[in-house]
Chains A and B, each alone.
Chain A
């Protein structure tokens, strides 16, 4: 599928893994950390206009609402650039959300599109059948100038998940299982195709959680081939005409991995790496001080529903700080209307406006020396959420919510 998308956008009949191609991009994305570097590079072109103000998306979501003066200055660089170049898709605080939840929600992603983002989790959009990959700021600068990007065509690895999805298992558990199996460079430079009966039944939110973390296995992109779930999600969001692209029947995969998930336990990534994965039973009893439910990985409505179902009517453990961060304003409002926020607040959780904040140790929930957190985020490298001697465990929203109640890592069944 990726080869076909890249060939089409490079104006070629066919491309093969390893080929270097120049492609037209349908969308180029930057945030308040990466876009200021890109804007500085863009200025070196001496151009008075961007290639297409409708195909650039700027989202101040990392250190916003501005965490300090330096962050405020960075956000201002973004705002001024957006104003000067009449960037159509600039999302100010109050309208913005975490970019990888926001763009699909706003109908900016469609099957067959090529999307680059100066943010590593841009690979999320493959859940909608797009080719989407994280790049750097200079790549973004060039895309803003001429609407092109260079790529080495990746080989594809197939990941097949079969069996009945057990209760409490979601997309996060499947992707952690996968990263644990192949390692943080197991899919380096590769496209990851997610397929199988379990993926067919997985919701769009769950699929986005999986493609989101393709980068944690070193992947260039992750994707699910479009199906009815995809088209239902796109309905009413995407107005632009598109034609879905599928893998050919005779496609050659570099490798195939198969998983039977029937008896799968919820998965936990131990510090300091997302491939350090164990079933929750082996993490049981580990004491934590903070729980974060949110991020571009697990801050969508389905994640909040799962967490609220576990938490409703209970109290967060007195030693725990629980932060719940709906990923976009629309998700925030939906959670409010569905009574999810009431459940969180009555349980004594802190509910925040959308921000990437704690996931990358930016703001809103920094850890002190020696503290441990359990988070539904995507990375747990040393010092990721704060002090270099703090630690982060990763899980899905069900385990995170249950552990916030218990004060230690537990299986969700234990608090029900």
Chain B
């Protein structure tokens, strides 16, 4: 069960906004996190705290394939991203690195950044607004993806598979 403050972003947030290309000369999540969302909310790295939840509209993470985008979100300590929909490479990258993401058809854009708090049950996809008690339901993952998430990412999943196949 996760709980945290929300930060609300709009539709079609692209990877250049999440982490501009000029910072891609590093692979360290914490270093990347210092520039998270710099393109659209320059003060974000200063205000985001460990455990916060990122809310977005449709097509979150469109644009480049840079895994630095979910890595920088993870590096900032964000516990979960909830969007109406995700761009496909961002979606698979997040699952592959074990960053919890949820697709929720409900409109969460009216939540107040830095004020409203959500509780998220990842297993059931249940999202509860702490202040109002409103409950939202996110789409469940197919079992195969849930297994990758349960393993903590694709590398761990494949390692477990290779171990079980080993003579």
Interface residues of A (CB under 8 A from B): 20, 33-34, 36-37, 40-41, 44-45, 62-63, 68, 70-71, 73-74, 117-120, 122, 134-139, 141-142, 145-146, 150, 184-185, 188-189, 215, 218, 220, 273, 360-362, 379, 381-384, 388
Please state if B63 and A138 are interface contacts (CB–CB under 8 Å).
Answer: no
In contact, A188 and B67 (Cβ under 8 angstroms): no
* CB of B135 within 8 Å of the partner chain: no
Q: How far is the CA of A150 from the CA of B148 in the complex (A)?
A: 11
Residues of B within 8 A of A362 (CB): 21-22, 24
With A135-B65, A188-B59, A384-B16 known as contacts, the answer to whether A36 contacts B27 (CB < 8 A) is yes
Contact A138 B87 (CB under 8 A): no
Q: Quick check: A185 and B87 within 8 Å, CB to CB? A: yes
**Chain B nearest Cβ from A412, distance in angstroms:** 29
Of chain A, the residue at the smallest CB distance from B26 is A70
Query: Which one, A62, A73, A74, A142, contacts B154 given CB within 8 A?
Result: A142
The 8 Å CB contact of A383, one of B17, B87, B153, is B17
**Contact call A34/B66, Cβ cutoff below 8 A:** yes
Interface residues in B100-159 by Cβ distance below 8 A to A read 142, 144-145, 153-155, 158-159
Q: Please pick, from B24, B38, B153, B159, the residue contacting A33 in the complex, using a CB distance under 8 A.
A: B24
Docked pose: A36 CA to B67 CA in angstroms: 11
Q: Contact between A146 and B88 (Cβ–Cβ < 8 Å)?
A: no
A119 touches B17 (CB 8 A): no
Q: Which of A41, A45, A134, A146 contacts B65 (CB 8 A)?
A: A134
Please indicate the chain A residues that have their CB under 8 angstroms from the CB of B66 in the complex.
Answer: 33-34, 136
Q: A185-B59, A381-B14, A382-B17 are in contact. Are A68 and B25 (CB under 8 A)?
A: yes
A357 to B107, CA, bound (A): 38
> What 4 pairs across the A-B complex have the smallest Cβ distances?
A70-B25, A136-B93, A138-B96, A185-B59
User: Can you list 24 contacts pairing A with B, beta carbon distance less than 8 Å?
Assistant: A20-B144, A33-B24, A37-B68, A45-B159, A63-B24, A63-B25, A70-B26, A71-B25, A74-B25, A119-B65, A120-B63, A120-B65, A136-B89, A136-B92, A138-B97, A139-B93, A146-B162, A188-B85, A273-B12, A361-B21, A381-B14, A381-B16, A384-B21, A388-B38
Tell which of B63, B67, B162 touches A34, judged by Cβ atoms closer than 8 Å: B67
Considering only CB atoms, which chain B residue lies closest to A71 in the complex?
B25
User: Which residues of chain A are near B93, meaning CB under 8 Å?
Assistant: 135-139
| A34 in contact with B65 (CB, 8 Å) | yes
- Which residues of B are interface residues toward A (Cβ below 8 A)? 12, 14, 16-17, 20-22, 24-27, 38-40, 42, 58-59, 62-68, 71, 85, 87-89, 92-93, 96-97, 142, 144-145, 153-155, 158-159, 162
Report how far A71 CA is from B159 CA in the complex, Å: 31
Docked pose: A136 CA to B159 CA in angstroms = 18
Min CB distance A123 to B, Å, is 10
**B90, closest chain A residue (CB):** A136
Cβ-defined contact, B64 with A360, below 8 A:
yes
A217 CB, nearest partner CB in chain B, Å: 10
Compute how far the CA of A68 lies from the CA of B25 in the bound complex, rounded to whole angstroms.
9
Residue of B12, B39, B67 with highest tally of chain A CB at under 10 A: B67
Contact of B67 among A74, A137, A189, A218 (CB under 8 A): A137
CA distance A40 to B100 in the complex (A): 21
Q: CB distance B144 to A383 under 8 Å? A: no
Q: Tell whether, in the assembled complex, residue B62 and residue A184 are in contact, meaning their CB atoms are under 8 Å apart.
A: yes
Instruction: Report chain B residues within 8 Å CB of A70.
Output: 25-26
- Contact partners of A119 in chain B: CB under 8 A: 64-65
User: What is the CA–CA distance of A71 and B26 in the complex, to the nearest angstrom?
Assistant: 8
Q: How far, in angstroms, from A74 to B67 measured CA to CA in the complex?
A: 15
The closest CB in chain B to the CB of A359 belongs to B21
The smallest C-beta distance from B90 to any residue of chain A, in angstroms, reads 8
Q: Within the complex, what minimum Cβ distance (angstroms) separates B32 from chain A?
A: 10
Q: A45-B162, A361-B22 are in contact. List 18 more A-B contacts (CB 8 A).
A: A20-B144, A34-B67, A70-B25, A70-B26, A71-B25, A122-B65, A136-B67, A138-B155, A146-B162, A150-B144, A188-B85, A218-B62, A360-B64, A361-B20, A379-B16, A379-B63, A382-B16, A383-B20
Beta-carbon contact of B155 and A20 below 8 Å: no
Output the least CB separation between B161 and chain A (Å): 9
Query: Would A37 and B71 count as touching, CB distance under 8 A?
Result: yes
Q: How far in angstroms is the closest Cβ of chain B from A27?
A: 16
Chain B residues with CB below 8 A from A20, complex form: 142, 144-145
Q: Which of A68, A141, A184 contacts B59 (CB 8 A)?
A: A184
Chain B residues closer than 8 Å to A74, beta-carbon distance: 25
- Complex CA gap A137/B68 in Å reads 9
Q: How far is the CB of B83 from the nearest CB of chain A, in Å?
A: 12
Q: How far, in angstroms, from A310 to B37 measured CA to CA in the complex?
A: 40
